Structure 1
Amino acid sequence: MTDRAPEPLPGTAAAEAVRPRVTCRRCHRPLHDPESRILRLGPECRDPAERVARHEVDQDPLPGLD
């Protein structure tokens, strides 16, 4: 006899707890990269124009802080 634990049957909670399948919103391909999974867009489908541009703004200092 062996001391191996039995493998879970397909369709059980243990087999589905691995990771949910996330697909791209545009091309519907599966995503693996953490950033792509958060954005739900693959690297090929991301448009650089859609990213928010950061720019610095001159601001007055807060009162009381010298």
Structure 2
Amino acid sequence: MQGLSINAMRVGLQYRLVNFDEVYEFETLKKLQEDNFLLKDLHTLEKYELHDLVKYGRGKDFEIRELNPNV
């Protein structure tokens, strides 16, 4: 699957991440480190770090896509 790299993510945009059959939709709030962001879940409004979503590795289905890229 083709998708974005973590380095291509930008603060203030919304993304969908798929990893190990789990789907997350979030907005990036703040860049914390080179490859870590503070995120806000679009459905629950919970805040968490990107590292929390990939701390167990990246599955074969790992993919990041921007939501509404042309809006």
TM-score, normalisation: structure 1:
0.21
Larger RCO: 1 or 2 (CA < 8 Å, sep 6+): 2
TM-score, normalisation: structure 2:
0.20
More helix by share: 1
